[in-house]
Structure 1
Amino acid sequence: MRRLLPYVLVVCVVLAGCNGVFVTESDDQTPTLTPVAVPTDEPTPTPVPRLAPGLTADGVTNASALAAAHLDTFENTSFTMQETVVYRSEDGIPIRRIESTTRVGDDGRFRVTKRWNGSTALQQVGYYDDGERVLVTTTRTNDATTYRRLSSQAVAAQRSSVSDGGSGRIETMFVAAETRVAGRTERNGTTVYHLVPTGTRGNSSNTATILDRSVSVCARVTERGLVRNYTLTQRLSGDGADGATTIVVSARYTAIGATDIERPAWYERAVAATDPTASRRNETSATPTTAG
């Protein structure tokens, strides 16, 4: 299955050239030196206090630790992730928009709905995990709707993908982007830190000021390490889909511990369309399925 966030592939390109940064010389080339006394009266640097796992006042200093803490928040807990991906042209005009809602139950079942707007043949795609199978419905702009059933291997991969709460993507983007803590808020006993790109004017994570760099991130992070929401802006190295030069991804997490996985209205039609025994009983099931 494809990942729900297509920008991840682009971020990986940004990081691909970083593998050879840390280069050291062989110890065989280093001459032997006589040890000298090290002064003991020099002041010890004051450590920067940790605000959340992987987060200090200097920003995200350990993306892996923050991503792990974010993942721990969803262990055996239901949640909802809402996401919007917008492809923009050089002058900022939206070319394509993808809205998705992912609901994950505490038992691992999930339901995903994705909607497209703009230059695309797709209109909507839905996934539903009933515990035994994952059914998929696809509706195109000509209103033709088809149904299919994921293979057991694809089901395992998709369940693993949605249950991680996007932690892998969070780690990747915070490795690629530089942030700083611009402020904090207190709500219901929880401290939330506001992260903005380094060098950004203002102290709001909703600021529209984006630096001239390939990846910029604004986010809100709790003291436990939950990334409540984020906005990623990434410039493409070349023309993207239909001339897009920028991708803006916004995501937020809600209904943590209070998400229900309701059966979609198209469930019975999908079962009938993907059940071989039902196809043999109903001669008309061989015709293209349309939305009802």
Structure 2
Amino acid sequence: MAQVNMPNPIPLLMVAVILLVSMSQTVAASDSFMDPQGPIAAIQKTHLLRATALIMVAVVPVLVLVPLIALRYRRRKNSSAAYRPEWDFSAKLEFLMWGVPVLIVALLSFYLWKATHRLDPYSTAFGEDPALRVQVVGLDWKWLFIYPDLGIASVGEFGIPTKRQVAMTLTTDTVMQSFMIPALAGQIYAMPGMTTQLHLVADAPEVMQGENTQYNGRGFTKQKFRTVAMHNDEFEVWVQKVRDNGIQLNPATYQTLAMRTDRDEVQAVLGTAKMPKDALYFTMEEDLFHSILHRYHGGEAVLVDQQPGTASFGLEAQK
């Protein structure tokens, strides 16, 4: 018989370990609340660690005692384990078995109640300076960030100042979506025709990833954006950069933007040489955000051609 050379599993195992380590380092690069970049994510991390520690009080004894009990009272003869056929109750054991879980649930409920109120997405308790207002619109498959007080908007890049609260009002112009910047704040849903709020603060300059965590079609995996926290002076420079290099966000431009396309596809149509390769900049004068909301309240639909191959993107608004 011909000899078959089997591959050495050790190099394969080493490669797998290296890949796992590199992936974990990539994911942990300010893309998780385990590496918090703001006070809200820091509280979330503390809450998770505290809850895990309390649960381990019940889990660890079970993991330790189950094999010990199985070993002590095994079928084979064991003189150290007393045989007590008439024994059926122990007050101390009952108190321990029921008292510890009750105490754990009580402590978890207390800390959960505190964290729920402290991390209320509508809360404005973080920071004393006037908040930066940002209106967020979920599209297929991109996020539109509107700065109504600054007259600018962006897609693919969310610029915010550090040490200043950002008050976000969210909606969608399509299906329900889930907004999340893990390193700054928790997840919150947005629905068409309705608004919700989220407040966040960044402690230091950092680049973080934001995304949609609600599956909504073929472009779901690409519906991510870059959150850039900057010092106040750098943020002012960024705002001016958007004004100087952005295009007008009017109804016609928005129709193209609202197409069922991911950011790369719409970038090829609306992007210019002055914009980053992974972001779109806009200037605006109209109150686009409330126009989107009022359209749903008025019962008017938006017809979107799902084939982006035409020159006009085939999008028409129903008047």
TM-score, normalising length: structure 1: 0.27
The structure richer in strand per residue is 1
The structure richer in helix per residue is 2
Larger Rg: 2
Whose RCO is larger (CA < 8 A, sep 6+)? 1
